[in-house]
Structure 1
């Protein structure tokens, strides 16, 4: 009776190998659509991000040209002489921040 309950190491090893093989087969049989491909998982290239940022800054710089100097620019404080964020956002149609405004002003100064 005790001989029937004991499992020999060879049989246990064969069972483990069989279950490992089954796991590998089921992973290989998984539909390809479940896991992202290498193209989908890769973040955008730095040049794509830079081009997108440059386009935004260019749009902001162009919008600055359309602002009313008397009502759309700060008169005092840390941002005196710089355009107001909300006025630019109304023109470009997207949210912007002070860093983008500063970059747009720098772009305008370079004349690019």
Structure 2
């Protein structure tokens, strides 16, 4: 899988890398059990700080998408629920857009409840 970052974008580099891992899993470019590039290798290729990649990997680890194994690197988890991941990404997009419009969390939740009916 090819990773890219846009240093001019408003989105932090670690978030861009994490989003690409999520996208790779959703598209099937990254399969369960597949190893990601080492943090050092990816940092070199992208010309970013090693800690930026480590933050991105930690973020997707905390989301349950990858495991970080000492000496083996980052590996896509076997039990990744791609359907749930897609829904989370849709929710992330909704929240981003709602914030752009200035909606408070309570207003976002009210909208979700409204469409449940």
TM-score (norm 1): 0.27
TM-score (norm 2): 0.26
Q: Which structure is larger by alpha-carbon Rg, 1 or 2?
A: 1
